[in-house]
Amino acid sequence: MTSLKTKFFGLELENPLIVASCSLTASPEKVREFSENGAGAIVLKSVFEEEIINEYNRVAQTKTSAHFDEFLDYFDYKIRDQVLSNYGRLIGEARKASRVPIVASINCVSSGDWLQFASQVEDAGADAIELNLFVMPCDPMNTAERNRNFYLNAVREVTGRVKVPVTVKISSYFSDLAAVCNALAGEKIKGLTLFNRFANPDIDIEKESLIEASPLSGEGEYLLPLRWVGILSPRLGCPIAASTGIHSAGQVIKMLLAGAHAVQMASLFYKQGASCLPKMLREIEQWMETHDYESIGDFRGRLSLTQSGNPAVYARAQYMSRFGGYSGSEHK
């Protein structure tokens, strides 16, 4: 009997297919659909610290009275209260609509006050919390060390407050990526998601203007997380979920072979809807049967850095002599 059971978010999951945080997970109806189609867990749309800051700044620019500063304090409290109670309601409704774990996602751009919210998320009934942490490292005065401290402080702030499991989702934008992952894994977290994918700028050459690129990932983007899952899974003391560019059962299997405990997908569901889940689960089971595996533990990490027998493929980045005579015909 083939079992797809795995562990992530400190929870036992029926299977490794996690619906990643995105606008599809912002409604209880959609959450129900993902649950009924067999998702292993569902991460709700993030609640964003920046949304509160932006709203505050917008109102702050419209100074209208002598008592405006007092009003702003009140307003700050009011918007927080409203955003947070809406999110609490979503957690409660999603929890009722789903048979599978519901994970709340908190985004923050500064550690401190905002993270007190984690306790409210816990009280609202989330099974786990994913911290969606990101600081765009574009400030030339901001050092890697300062950045790293932001991540570690935010994680400590939250894990010190709540009893539910906490995981962290990061981008690949670190000069010392392996060291940062190692430091995060040394905190009290139950998993690391590699990697978040963000809105990208693009350029319209006809209008000569900046535009936003498609938010959906494309073919081949899974190769970046694949490399890092393979490199880090045998070395970190916490499970890894792979995210970005995973669009097929075959790519899920690749991530598991590289050492992931689970995958988080979003773009696929925008393209194909929740109904692609049962087919993917069947295809993974079929592959396991063909390869004589009864559980994910039988093959997870078989092709990681330490088990593949060919670690150089993970570490190699430059093409140098191996591709010196590359004509392209090999990959047609």
Give the position of tokens 């901001």: 142
Give the DSSP H or E segment for 278: helix 276-290
CB of 109 to ligand FMN, least distance (A): 13
Nearer to ligand FMN, 129 or 293 (CB): 129
Binding site for ligand FMN (CB under 6 A): 20-23, 45-46, 105, 132, 169, 196-197, 215-217, 243-246, 264-268
CB of 129 to ligand FMN, least distance (A): 12
By the 8 A CB rule, do 239 and 191 touch? yes
CB of 268 to ligand FMN, least distance (A): 6
Of 240, 314, 317, the C-alpha closest to 16 is: 240
Pairing of strands 128-133, 102-108: parallel
Nearer to ligand FMN, 231 or 265 (CB): 265
Nearer to ligand FMN, 197 or 227 (CB): 197
Give the position of tokens 């925008």: 270
Cα separation, 220 vs 167, whole angstroms: 26
CB of 66 to ligand FMN, least distance (A): 39
Cα separation, 285 vs 300, whole angstroms: 14
What's the one-letter identity of residue 100? V
CB of 272 to ligand FMN, least distance (A): 11
By the 8 A CB rule, do 60 and 72 touch? yes
Nearer to ligand FMN, 75 or 150 (CB): 150
CA 250 vs CA 66, 120, 149, 247: distances in Å: 63, 39, 37, 8
Pairing of strands 17-19, 41-43: parallel
The three-class DSSP label of residue 106 is strand
DSSP annotation of 54? H
Cα separation, 123 vs 117, whole angstroms: 10
Nearer to ligand FMN, 31 or 265 (CB): 265
Residue 208, class by beta-carbon neighbours within 10 Å (0-12 exposed, 13-18 middle, 19+ buried)?
A: exposed
Nearer to ligand FMN, 266 or 293 (CB): 266
CB of 62 to ligand FMN, least distance (A): 28
Cα separation, 244 vs 154, whole angstroms: 23
Nearer to ligand FMN, 232 or 308 (CB): 232
CB of 330 to ligand FMN, least distance (A): 26
CB of 80 to ligand FMN, least distance (A): 18
Residue 268, class by beta-carbon neighbours within 10 Å (0-12 exposed, 13-18 middle, 19+ buried)?
A: buried
Nearer to ligand FMN, 195 or 314 (CB): 195
